[in-house]
A and B are shown apart, each in its own frame.
Chain A
Amino acid sequence: MRKLGQRVGAVIALTMAAYAAAQPPTTPLSTFEPAQDIRYISTDLGSVLVFSRQGTRFGDLNALYPGLWPSHRAELIESEDGVRCVLIGPRESAVELAIRRPIRTGDRYRCLRSSFRVARCFNDCRAAIVEVEAPASGNDSTRGPLKHFMYVDRCLGMLAYSVVGDMEQGLPLGAMWLRGRVGVLADPRQPGCEGADS
């Protein structure tokens, strides 16, 4: 379990260290401060991702507790072409999570440096699996892009996140899934999403 936590930590560290000079965002950044904590926990309890007003914590089960685990600043970008993106960590080395609405199979979009592809849709794209590709580290050109996978809902936002495998056959035991009703990047303003969080 600890190994998996370390692996997740290593992946995040690699992702955050992977980028070269920052490209300026096209839209203003605002600090992401959810009204309530948003928690994701893996089935094997080895990996945790928590968004809180104090910042974002990413690690093993101890990351549930703010006093035990370091926090990263999270920022929100919304672009005019429908992309809503959360950056975790310093802008020049952030982990990026993004959804473009409306969700469409095969759609490709970007946040700052990561690229996203809607790999599979469910129920007319009410939910989808999105492949995230982050650029390789400049210090290790032999390493290919880092691939992550998100399971997103058009109303409720990100419901699951995997850095340990794709979601073709389901949510891997190391994938973190939402323990609550409403995830990060939710958008109740979308048509048909009214009351989706109730």
Chain B
Amino acid sequence: MLILRLAAILALISGPCASAQQSAAPTARLEPAHDIRYVSTDLGHVLVFTRAGARFGDFLALSPGIWPTNPVEIVPAGEGVQCITIGPPENSNSVQIAIKRPLRVGDRYSCLRESFRVIRCFEDCRAAMVETQSPGSGNNPRHDPLKSYMYVDSCRGLLAYSVVRDMTDAIPLSAMWLRGDVGILADPRSPPCDSLTEERD
């Protein structure tokens, strides 16, 4: 079941381009200074962002020579929303990850084809759980929407990502969590995040 779901996600990312549902906005390539790695507790799932793009797959995806890389682009997405797309933005099968700051419980926002809802906050929304909903496969629009879950930090960005289960009680064994200081979509420039750099010293 898990493998099938992940295979579906991977197919969504790397599948053939279907008709875009939204006109493509001007984008910029995401080129992190260092690799940003997410690995699941069960070591079955890996998401790595590099200067060359993102690799999303099993443990082998940690190695650049073994696993295909998908382009990652920054997408303009409304006031306060930081969004990236894995896979070409004009591709209806691409995946978006977005954070809207400041974090607020119940807030809803969108980026390209995906919609986001802040479902739970911690410590005055210093961190939050966000539910992501994307339309079904472009090849079969009757499919139920795909739900994913993110755990985000207002300063350090995406800290965990689950495509299988929500995070109501725990970060599932198959959810990928950050192996590093600072995640994708971090924003150390915001005044409340001044301590981000101090804490790393």
- Would A172 and B122 be within 8 Å (CB), given that A43-B151, A122-B43, A181-B180 are in contact? no
Mask of A157-180 contacts with B, CB within 8 angstroms, 1/0: 001100001010111110101111
A22 to B148, CA, bound (A): 50
Which residues of B104-123 have CB atoms within 8 Å of chain A's CB atoms? 122-123
Partner of A169, one of B173, B177, B199: B173
Among the listed stretches B20-28, B78-86, B163-171, which one makes contact with chain A, having 4 or more residues with CB under 8 Å of it? B163-171
B181–A179 touching, CB < 8 Å: yes
Partner of A1, one of B123, B169, B172, B180: B123
Q: Is A130 an interface residue (CB 8 A)?
A: no
Q: Is B184 an interface residue (CB 8 A)?
A: no
- Would A127 and B122 be within 8 Å (CB), given that A64-B199, A169-B172, A173-B169 are in contact? no
> In the assembled complex, which residues on chain B have CB atoms less than 8 Å from the CB atom of A170?
41, 169-173, 175
Which residues of B15-55 have CB atoms within 8 Å of chain A's CB atoms? 41-44
Q: Is A108 an interface residue (CB 8 A)?
A: no
- Would A45 and B123 be within 8 Å (CB), given that A171-B41, A171-B171, A173-B170 are in contact? yes
Mask of A7-26 contacts with B, CB within 8 angstroms, 1/0: 00000000000000000000
- On chain A, the number of residues with a Cβ less than 8 Å from chain B's Cβ atoms is 30
Q: Is B59 an interface residue (CB 8 A)?
A: yes
Q: Is A53 an interface residue (CB 8 A)?
A: no
> In the assembled complex, which residues on chain B have CB atoms less than 8 Å from the CB atom of A127?
41, 43
- Would A126 and B170 be within 8 Å (CB), given that A1-B122, A177-B177, A181-B181 are in contact? no
Q: Is B126 an interface residue (CB 8 A)?
A: yes
A122–B41 touching, CB < 8 Å: yes
Q: Is B5 an interface residue (CB 8 A)?
A: no
Mask of B121-149 contacts with A, CB within 8 angstroms, 1/0: 01100110000000000000000000000
Q: Is A123 an interface residue (CB 8 A)?
A: yes
B181–A171 touching, CB < 8 Å: no
A45–B122 touching, CB < 8 Å: yes
In whole Å, how far is A100's beta carbon from the nearest beta carbon of chain B?
19
- For A165, the closest partner residue in chain B by CB is B170
Q: Is A44 an interface residue (CB 8 A)?
A: yes
> In the assembled complex, which residues on chain A have CB atoms less than 8 Å from the CB atom of B41?
122, 127, 151, 160, 167, 170-171
A179 to B177, CA, bound (A): 10
In whole Å, how far is A191's beta carbon from the nearest beta carbon of chain B?
17
Q: Is A39 an interface residue (CB 8 A)?
A: yes
Which residues of A41-76 have CB atoms within 8 Å of chain B's CB atoms? 43-46, 61, 64
Question: Which residue numbers of A lie inside 8 Å of B, CB to CB?
Answer: 1, 37, 39, 43-46, 61, 64, 122-123, 126-127, 151, 156, 159-160, 165, 167, 169-173, 175, 177-181
* A–B Cβ pairs within 8 angstroms, 18 of them: A37-B199, A61-B123, A122-B42, A122-B44, A123-B44, A165-B170, A167-B170, A169-B172, A170-B171, A170-B175, A173-B169, A173-B170, A177-B171, A177-B177, A178-B179, A179-B156, A179-B181, A181-B179
